[in-house]
Amino acid sequence: MAAAKPASLRAKAADLLSSLLYRNATVFRLRMNLYPPYLGAGIRVTRVSADFREIDVELRRSPGNANAFGTHFGGSLYAMVDPFYCLQFFAGLGSGYLVWDKAAKIEFVRPGKGTVRARFRISEADIQAARDATATGGKYLPVFHVDVLDAGGAVVAKVEKELYVRRKPDRNKRSGAAPG
């Protein structure tokens, strides 16, 4: 019997880690809050629903994330919204799918001061549309929008995210190996 390839061990370890991370919303929230880029930028995930369909994020302005004008640095505003639709889809679809951020657009509407927030929402219909569109191996490119709001509810930035979703190829069919 041949030894397992290191790449396949890494893939199995990554699958195990992601399955643990997406099994518990509290663990996911805590892990995101300890993610070094978020920790350093002052970005906090404040709420994750049990099914990962709702995620709330906030960014408090501090000297470490302010720009030369004393408002939120645009990179921090984008960082606070970057991964969440992708992560929500991965949680909803499971490890049998490839889910990547494909494109993004951010429009800065007004200077952000104080604490700003973003709320990410996806539905079962969004997840089902991805399953249906990829059932025969095709790709799916959904587009989502999220606003970054200040404490008074005014829009600070408008963000558009395009995802790339595809079913992972069946490794057994591709290699001709017997399932096992």
The pTM of the full predicted model, rounded to 2 decimals, is: 0.83
CA pair distance 147, 156, nearest whole angstrom: 7
Length of the chain: 180
Question: SS3 for 32?
Answer: helix
138 has a pLDDT exceeding 80 = yes
CATH value at residue 74? 3.10.129.10
Rounded mean pLDDT of 122-133?
97
Residue 65 within any structural domain of the chain: yes
Residue 178 within any structural domain of the chain: no
176 has a pLDDT exceeding 70 = no
Rounded mean pLDDT of 90-101?
93
Report CA-CA distances (Å) from 32 to 21, 42, 72, 84.
10, 12, 20, 10
